[in-house]
Every structure is written in structure tokens, then in C-alpha cells.
């Protein structure tokens, strides 16, 4: 990523936490990846919201709302328009009951705008894999 934050994200399973859950009103899913950036040594969370994703489905160019949070200091960056990011879900494999292994690639053609500021962060491509629990309880 580059802009207000310039960093390479290359987390392995020991460096990242992943939570996946349904979005409010069961409108798709939300994936949250959190870890530490080596430079500038800050904890961040990246949230990928996929309003059109369904359990077990894969797909190309799914509408995506992306948010980056610098944890602990109140800085939030998010998509300004709905057409700024999309995601290809290449795998959503049932592990047990409502839990799935998910992987894909998010692409953004516009920066994530700072919510309470005047800067931005660009994440042009993000490959990910994690867990998605479709049970909303």
C-alpha cells in the first residue's frame, strides 16, 4: 500500500488474525484481517465487505467496500465510491457446519479516503485467505 501509509503487507498465519462473519441483516459477508506493519511499526486492520457474497459461492468482480483502520489512533480510510474496489473469490470451502475456508484477491482502482482527514491510502491488490463463519449467532 502507498499514500498516507507506505508499507508492504506480507503476513503469514502467525502474523495475522482473521475473522469472517455475515454483514448486518445477513447482506453478504465481512472479512477482517489484522496485523502489524513492519514499517511504520503499527497495528492495522483491513476490512473487506462483500454485500453480494453467499455461503459457499465463488465469483469474479464482486462489489467490495474496503476499510483500513490504524488501530489505536482513530484513523480510518475507506472506499469513497462503490465502484472503487472489487473482489474475486476463488475458494470458499466448507470446513464444518457454517465455517468456510475462503481465499481471493481484492483490487482497487481508487484510493481509500481518510474519513476524518485529508489523506488517502491506495491498496491496488490484496491477496488473502482466511476463515468465514456464516453462523450469525
pLDDT tens readout for residues 55-85: 999 999 999 999 999 988 889 999 977 789 9
Domain boundaries, the chain: 2-7+14-133
On average, the pLDDT of the chain sits at 91
Peptide bond into 40 cis (omega under 30): yes
- Is the pLDDT at 119 greater than 80, yes or no? yes
Which cell numbers in the block locate residue 13? 498465519
Question: How does residue 12 score in pLDDT terms, banded at 50, 70 and 90?
Answer: confident
Q: pLDDT digits over 98-117, tens only?
A: 999 999 999 999 999 999 88
pLDDT of 137 > 60? The answer is no
Beta strands in 23-137 (DSSP E): 29-37, 42-50, 59-70, 75-79, 85-96, 99-108, 112-114, 120-122, 125-133
Given the DSSP bridges, would you call strands 2-3 and 85-96 parallel, antiparallel or unpaired?
unpaired
What is the DSSP code string of 6-27?
-------TTTEEEEEEEPGGG-
What number is the average pLDDT over the span 33-46? 86
Range 131-137 average pLDDT = 82
What is the Cα–Cα distance from 90 to 64, expressed in whole angstroms?
15
- Predicted TM-score of the model (pTM): 0.92
* Strand bridging mode 99-108 / 125-133: antiparallel
Amino acid at each position: 500500500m502507498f499514500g498516507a501509509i507506505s508499507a508492504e503487507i506480507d503476513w503469514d498465519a502467525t502474523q495475522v488474525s482473521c475473522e469472517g462473519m455475515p454483514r448486518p441483516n445477513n447482506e453478504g459477508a465481512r472479512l477482517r484481517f489484522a496485523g502489524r506493519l513492519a514499517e511504520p511499526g503499527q497495528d492495522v486492520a483491513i476490512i473487506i465487505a462483500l454485500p453480494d457474497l453467499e455461503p459457499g459461492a465463488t465469483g469474479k468482480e464482486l462489489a467490495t467496500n474496503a476499510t483500513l483502520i490504524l488501530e489505536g489512533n482513530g484513523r480510518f480510510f475507506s472506499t469513497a465510491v462503490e465502484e472503487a474496489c472489487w473482489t474475486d473469490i476463488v475458494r470458499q470451502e466448507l470446513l464444518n457446519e457454517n465455517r468456510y475456508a475462503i481465499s481471493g484477491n481484492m483490487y482497487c482502482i481508487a484510493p481509500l479516503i481518510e474519513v476524518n482527514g485529508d489523506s488517502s491510502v491506495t491498496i491496488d491488490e490484496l491477496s488473502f485467505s482466511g476463515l468465514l463463519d456464516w453462523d450469525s449467532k
